[in-house]
Amino acid sequence: MKLRYCTRVDTRFPVIFANESFVGEGTVVNVSVPGCAISSKKPVRSGSYLEMKVLLPDATLPLSVGLARVRWCDGRYFGVEFIRMPGDDQVRLGRLVRKQPQPEARRPSLEQYPYS
């Protein structure tokens, strides 16, 4: 069992992601400082790179991820590692993760996948 070094919290944040050949949308289902898991009907490939905009519930500006790498894919779920993000957005993400309530039970199917 691989232990995580960062807190991961369950979320339901809309996300728009893109690379040089497509644009997709989905839902961030959990997030930590180094990455997140996304549910989407748009298929992506493991190892590909994306740009992302995460729409936060209490913010006027989306959280911007300039570069993220897809680390795993499983059906309509995939996990990304954040590689490049503006400093202000890194701070916002850290605050967001600290403020979110910690659930008692998590979806086992998503726990098995490392993205950080």
> Residue 107 domain-assigned?
no
Reported as a pLDDT band with limits 50, 70 and 90, residue 5 is low
In tens, the pLDDT along 21-73 reads 999 999 999 999 999 999 999 999 999 999 999 998 877 799 999 999 999 99
pTM (predicted TM-score): 0.81
Check which CATH number belongs to the domain holding 29 and give it: 2.40.10.220
Residue 31 bridge partners (DSSP): 9, 36
- Report CA-CA distances (Å) from 75 to 1, 14, 109, 110: 22, 18, 11, 11
Number of domains in the chain: 1
Q: How far apart are the first and last CA of the chain?
A: 14
Two tokens, residue 39: 């549910």
Is residue 35 within 8 Å of 68, Cβ to Cβ?
yes
pLDDT score for 60: 79
> Residue 3 domain-assigned?
no
Select the more confidently predicted residue: 101 or 61: 61
> Residue 73 domain-assigned?
yes
> Residue 44 domain-assigned?
yes
User: Which residue type occupies 3?
Assistant: L
